[in-house]
């Protein structure tokens, strides 16, 4: 059992939670994820490691209430326990060898983008962060991202905070202004990552994205997390979750992600009632 030692609400639907998990905290790296089960009858869900403290033996996750399990998880408080907490899983993001990187996060994807930006910053790499949200009410991690970015650009769809427009507007503007990024990391909803990849492909900039498909075992056995990359089938849990965004088949990934929508909706309705 894994104890919750900190809980913070970042916005009405996104929660920051720190868990006591010393073995994971000792090994975790940016880009990796854990799989948890809230209780013994619960489903297994993957969540990216948003932070880790080897000295305190804690791991931070940030999640959005999007279904039954995340709603259940959000009902737990400091001092409560999570049944299973397994990791670190997946390959860490390869961050070596870059001089200047644009990290682009969309919505709760900023929770995954933040540790990448932080790791790059600690390595002495110049990092621009572009963080996009629908509006100011759902903005998260502005202070944290500002601390690790050379420049932080907040974009909101309605202009209620920062600049108005999608993250791609700012990225294009920066590239046009001569920012010579040798890598772009994009993390967020699939349509956002696809839009960033279309832009960076045109500009000839290597782009890494983090895939978050349905996962079950997280160890390469069930095939649930399969995606198509460069015409080949890959398992996001063991081959990723990071992939070359210019090689990912986004249409296939979107189709697979929506397969269980009716069941997910029913489970959430049952949980609320």
| Shortest CB 237 distance to ligand FES, Å | 3
Cβ distance to ligand FES smaller for residue 99 or 263: 263
Cα–Cα distance for residue pair 267/248, rounded to 1 Å: 30
| Shortest CB 56 distance to ligand FES, Å | 29
Phi, psi for residue 67 in degrees, rounded to 5: -160, -175
Cβ distance to ligand FES smaller for residue 30 or 35: 35
The yes or no reply on residue 260 touching ligand FES (CB under 6 A) is: no
Cα–Cα distance for residue pair 242/186, rounded to 1 Å: 10
- Show the binding pattern over residues 213-232: x = contacts ligand FES (CB under 6 A), - = does not: --xxxx-xxxxxx-------
**Interface of this chain with ligand FES, residues 234 to 253, rule: CB under 6 A:** 235, 237
Cβ distance to ligand FES smaller for residue 63 or 153: 63
Which are the contacts of 240, defined by CB distance < 8 A and separation ≥ 6?
90, 91, 210, 211, 227, 234
Residue 236: half-sphere exposure toward Cβ, Cα within 13 Å: 28
| Shortest CB 63 distance to ligand FES, Å | 18
Compute how many residues bind ligand FES; rule: CB under 6 A: 12
Using the rule CB under 6 A, give the single segment among 59-67, 78-86, 153-161, 209-217 that binds ligand FES.
209-217
Peptide bond into 88 cis (omega under 30): yes
Cβ distance to ligand FES smaller for residue 85 or 235: 235
Classify residue 71 as left (phi > 0), alpha (psi -120 to 50) or beta: alpha
| Shortest CB 219 distance to ligand FES, Å | 7
DSSP type of residue 248 = B
Cβ distance to ligand FES smaller for residue 128 or 242: 242
Cβ distance to ligand FES smaller for residue 34 or 225: 225
Residue 86 contacts residue 23 (beta carbons within 8 Å): no
Using the rule CB under 6 A, give the single segment among 26-34, 58-66, 134-142, 210-218 that binds ligand FES.
210-218
**Interface of this chain with ligand FES, residues 76 to 105, rule: CB under 6 A:** none
Reference 117, options 27, 10, 31, 26; nearest CA is 31
* Angle in degrees, CA 101, 238, 19, rounded to 5: 75
Reference 35, options 93, 113, 88, 81; nearest CA is 88
What does the binding site for ligand FES look like in residue numbers (CB under 6 A)?
A: 215-218, 220-225, 235, 237
């Amino acid at each position: 059992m894994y104890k919750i030692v900190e809980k913070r609400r970042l916005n009405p639907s996104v929660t920051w939670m720190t868990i006591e998990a010393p073995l994971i905290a000792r090994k975790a790296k940016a880009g990796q994820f854990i799989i948890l089960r809230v209780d013994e009858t619960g489903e297994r869900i993957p969540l990216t490691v948003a932070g880790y403290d080897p000295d305190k033996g804690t791991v931070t996750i940030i999640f959005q209430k999007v279904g039954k399990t995340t709603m259940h998880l959000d009902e737990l408080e400091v001092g409560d326990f999570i049944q299973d907490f397994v990791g670190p899983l997946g390959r860490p993001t390869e961050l070596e060898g870059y001089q200047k990187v644009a990290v682009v996060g969309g919505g709760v994807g900023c929770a995954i983008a933040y540790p990448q930006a932080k790791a790059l910053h600690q390595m002495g790499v110049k990092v621009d962060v572009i963080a996009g949200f629908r509006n100011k009410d759902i903005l998260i991690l502005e202070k944290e991202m500002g601390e690790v970015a050379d420049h932080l650009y907040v974009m909101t769809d309605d202009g209620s905070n920062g600049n108005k427009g999608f993250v791609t507007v700012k990225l294009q503007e920066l590239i046009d202004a001569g920012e010579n990024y040798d890598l772009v990391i994009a993390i967020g909803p699939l349509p956002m990552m696809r839009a960033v990849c279309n832009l960076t492909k045109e500009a000839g900039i290597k782009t890494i994205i983090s895939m978050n498909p349905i996962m079950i075992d997280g160890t390469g056995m069930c095939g649930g997390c399969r995606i198509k990359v460069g015409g080949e089938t890959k398992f996001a849990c063991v081959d990723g979750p990071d992939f070359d965004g210019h090689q990912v088949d986004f249409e296939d990934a979107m189709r697979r992600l929506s397969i269980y929508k009716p069941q997910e909706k029913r489970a959430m309705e049952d949980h609320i009632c």
